[in-house]
């Protein structure tokens, strides 16, 4: 069908091979290690851009390897996948910079950066998977490659968090596995986008298909942190800030959310899913998670924990959008993949900067921090406004489209959920801004790191500024061609045309 190309493989290799090479280096070869890492990251961004351009021209890239009868390893570039791949590769580049600065002088950096690379390999693999089985392979690979990162510090706290993380994700993976095998047996090998197969089975096996849908949804829901499967996310906060960024913005939760979009639109197809009434439960669950996460966030004093519950809440916008039938809401869901990513990564970078520079980990300690770290907190403020949904920042766009889509589909209650969530967002984020900008500092504080003339180390500062500006730009320039919104819109339209 498509021309075989090794470009998708190269995109994976651009992070996988540096990861392997880093493992063979010595711990003290930090310059070479950083070079390999950055080289890989830049190469990945360039390759994705190249493929992006090619796809725009209408070219198709695919790679197929037959493992066993009816079991193929398939990479295929489509717009949705490329959208996610672009997000991961750009944010990986930024996060790599940040991580190099953050971990300077730390222990076991060889291991860290190797698995960091594997993690992104898994995320791009998920993005470029052409069929369910390949998706599953990378989905599990992601679990394994993040585990060493979560337990990186090696403290009892981290090790226990790692255990919780594993129980949730391996459990989810197992359930997903069951669903995938079941689907495979029922419908044969499923390639993304070929929804005719399922559609033809709906009348014959509605019960089995419904069971399998919810099995797979449960498996994906763990990583997407849908209530009640979200428990691992706040606990994994013990990981270093770049890892949190990776978990919350780039790879893990996104893999889950992306998987749900794939499941609904590219495996079952919106018609079949609607026919079997699969989407209403998903919508209700997602709406509940949005409110639940926000309420939980209200009560957290730990900075990163509040951000984590905020992630739980924000992420379910994607599930919600996917569950409402209509181009507009789907556009909102897809664009939120990117928007939530850049906003949330900004927040985690900011939280990391504060913690690394002054050692503040609690919100109650943040009085006056805005004056000491104006750039960091400035970026953070942009992200907060975006999360609340103020125009013209990225988050507004997502919510606007979700709301429009809901009204279009006649689900007016969703608008109420969105409004309630925005109010709650404001309720738990604005106090942080108030403390940061308007409260007097409690006491004198000296930066723990050598910062030079800047407010913090330069490698920590650049990423947060970039992602903050990106959050702004994604909203401001949303109407332009090539913006995330326009691409998301195009993808959504194609999904509905099929």
Helix (H, G, I), strand (E, B) or coil at 29: coil
Interface of this chain with another protein, residues 384 to 403, rule: CB under 8 A? none
What are the beta bridge partners of residue 73?
65
Smaller CB separation from another protein, 6 or 53: 6
Q: Residues touching another protein: how many (CB under 8 A)?
A: 39
CB of 113 to another protein, least distance (A): 13
Maximum pairwise Cα distance, the chain:
71
Say if residue 228 is preceded by a cis peptide, omega within 30 of 0: yes
Helix (H, G, I), strand (E, B) or coil at 302: strand
Exposure of 369 in the CB half-sphere (CA atoms within 13 A): 30
CB of 161 to another protein, least distance (A): 10
Q: How many residues does the chain have?
A: 498
Smaller CB separation from another protein, 238 or 382: 238
Smaller CB separation from another protein, 182 or 368: 182
Write out the DSSP string of 111-123. Answer: HHHHHHHHHHHHH
State the burial class of residue 170 (Cβ atoms within 10 Å of its Cβ: 0-12, 13-18, 19+).
middle
Q: Is 361 in the site for another protein (CB under 8 A)?
A: no
CB of 151 to another protein, least distance (A): 5
CB of 69 to another protein, least distance (A): 6
Q: Is 280 in the site for another protein (CB under 8 A)?
A: no
The binding track of 160-199 with respect to another protein, each residue x by CB under 8 A or -, is: --xx--x---xx-xxx-xx--xx-xxx-------------
The tokens describing 35, both together, are 């070079």
Sign, CA torsion 66/72/73/75:
positive
CA-to-CA dists, residue 148 to 30, 49, 57, angstroms: 19, 30, 40
CB of 207 to another protein, least distance (A): 13
Interface of this chain with another protein, residues 96 to 155, rule: CB under 8 A? 107-108, 111, 136-137, 140-141, 143-144, 147-148, 151-152, 154-155
Smaller CB separation from another protein, 185 or 458: 185
Contact 128, 81 (CB under 8 A): yes
Helix (H, G, I), strand (E, B) or coil at 62: strand
Smaller CB separation from another protein, 62 or 180: 180
**Quick one: which H or E segment has residue 76?**
strand 71-76
The tokens describing 278, both together, are 């699969």
Q: Is 71 in the site for another protein (CB under 8 A)?
A: yes
Smaller CB separation from another protein, 181 or 202: 181
Going by the DSSP 8-state scheme, the letter that residue 263 receives in this structure is I
CB of 160 to another protein, least distance (A): 9
Smaller CB separation from another protein, 186 or 473: 186
Q: Is 159 in the site for another protein (CB under 8 A)?
A: yes
CB of 225 to another protein, least distance (A): 20
Say if residue 14 is preceded by a cis peptide, omega within 30 of 0: no
Q: Is 204 in the site for another protein (CB under 8 A)?
A: no
Residue from 3, 57, 156, 203 touching another protein (CB under 8 A): that is 156
CA-to-CA dists, residue 339 to 4, 227, 299, 386, angstroms: 32, 21, 25, 9
Smaller CB separation from another protein, 152 or 489: 152
Write out the DSSP string of 120-147. Answer: HHHHHHHHHB-BHHHHHHHHHHHHHHHH
Smaller CB separation from another protein, 137 or 462: 137
Smaller CB separation from another protein, 153 or 275: 153
Chain residues binding another protein by CB under 8 A are 23, 66-69, 71, 73, 107-108, 111, 136-137, 140-141, 143-144, 147-148, 151-152, 154-156, 159, 162-163, 166, 170-171, 173-175, 177-178, 181-182, 184-186
């Amino acid at each position: 069908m498509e021309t075989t190309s090794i470009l998708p493989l190269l995109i994976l290799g651009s992070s996988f091979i540096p990861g392997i090479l880093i493992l063979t280096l010595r711990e003290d070869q930090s310059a070479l290690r950083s070079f390999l890492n950055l080289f890989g990251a830049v190469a990945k961004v360039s390759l994705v851009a190249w493929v992006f351009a090619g796809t725009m021209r209408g070219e198709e890239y695919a790679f197929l390897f037959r493992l066993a009868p009816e079991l193929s390893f398939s990479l295929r570039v489509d717009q949705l996948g490329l959208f996610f791949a672009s997000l991961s590769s750009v944010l990986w580049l930024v996060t790599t910079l940040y991580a190099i600065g953050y971990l300077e002088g730390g222990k076991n950096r060889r291991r860290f950066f190797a698995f960091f690379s594997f993690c992104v390999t898994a995320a791009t693999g998920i993005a470029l998977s052409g069929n369910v089985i390949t998706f599953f392979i990378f989905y599990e690979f992601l679990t394994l490659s993040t585990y060493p990162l979560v337990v990186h510090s090696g403290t009892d706290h981290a090790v226990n968090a790692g255990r919780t993380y594993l129980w949730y994700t391996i459990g989810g993976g197992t359930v997903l596995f069951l669903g995938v095998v079941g689907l495979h047996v029922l419908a044969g090998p499923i390639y993304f986008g070929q929804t005719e197969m399922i559609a033809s089975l709906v009348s014959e096996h509605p019960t089995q298909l419904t069971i399998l849908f919810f099995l797979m949804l449960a498996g994906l829901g763990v990583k997407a942190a849908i209530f009640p499967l979200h428990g691992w996310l706040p606990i994994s906060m013990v990981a270093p800030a770049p890892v949190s960024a990776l978990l919350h913005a780039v790879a893990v939760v996104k893999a889950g959310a992306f998987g749900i979009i794939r499941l609904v639109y590219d495996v079952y197809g919106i018609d079949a899913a609607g026919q079997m009434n699969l989407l209403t439960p998903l919508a209700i669950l997602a709406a509940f998670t949005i409110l639940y996460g926000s309420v939980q966030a209200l009560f957290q004093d730990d900075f990163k924990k509040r951000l984590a519950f905020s992630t739980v809440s924000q992420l379910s916008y994607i599930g919600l959008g996917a569950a409402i039938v209509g181009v507009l809401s789907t556009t909102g869901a897809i664009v939120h993949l990117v928007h939530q990513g850049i906003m949330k990564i900004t927040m985690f970078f900011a939280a990391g900067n504060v913690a690394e520079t002054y050692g503040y980990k609690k919100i109650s300690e943040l009085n006056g921090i805005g004056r000491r770290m104006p750039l960091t907190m400035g970026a953070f403020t942009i992200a907060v406004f975006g999360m609340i949904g103020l125009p013209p920042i990225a988050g507004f766009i997502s919510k606007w489209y979700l709301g429009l889509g809901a009204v279009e589909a006649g689900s007016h209650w969703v608008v109420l959920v969105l409004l309630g969530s925005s109010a709650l967002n404001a309720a738990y984020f604005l106090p942080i801004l108030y403390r940061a900008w308007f409260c007097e500092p409690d006491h004198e504080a000296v930066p723990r790191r050598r910062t030079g003339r800047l407010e913090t180390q330069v490698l920590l500062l650049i990423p947060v500024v970039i992602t903050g500006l990106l959050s702004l730009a994604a909203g401001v320039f949303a109407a332009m061609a090539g913006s995330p919104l326009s691409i998301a819109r195009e993808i959504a339209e194609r999904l509905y045309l099929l």
